[in-house]
Amino acid sequence: MDPHRPTEDERRLCSLLTKACAELEKREDPSTPVPLWKFLRDRIPEIQAGTIRKIHQKELWRIFAPSSEWDDLGGGADLGNSLFEVLNRLYGN
């Protein structure tokens, strides 16, 4: 079987998630059991390999949906909107 070749949207999503991880890592409370930036970082190789589970797709969508967790954490609006746009194309209902 041929290895998964990420689509343009998947490559863009990985790039945006990398930026989101860097933004969150600077601000997030280190005592959080599983910091959000680690969850996001762990999804990047799954997206690249085409092995991301449906539950994680839905969780990413939920995190970056308007007025959701990303906004609650004070994440950048432009980055959040860009992420949601790509996530909605890839994993939206």
pLDDT in tens, 25-55: 887 666 666 688 899 999 999 999 999 999 9
Question: What are the residue boundaries of the structural domains of the chain, listed by start?
Answer: 8-91
What average pLDDT does range 61-72 have in this prediction? 92
Is pLDDT at 14 greater than 80 in this prediction? yes
pTM of the full structure = 0.90
What pLDDT score does 3 carry?
83
Q: What is the pLDDT of residue 34?
A: 66
Give the pLDDT of residue 91.
Answer: 94
CA 39 to chain centre: 8
Calculate mean pLDDT across residues 11-27: 93
What does the pLDDT average to over 3-24?
Answer: 94
Q: Which of 36, 59, 35 is nearest to 47 (CA)?
A: 59
48 with 10: CB under 8 angstroms? yes
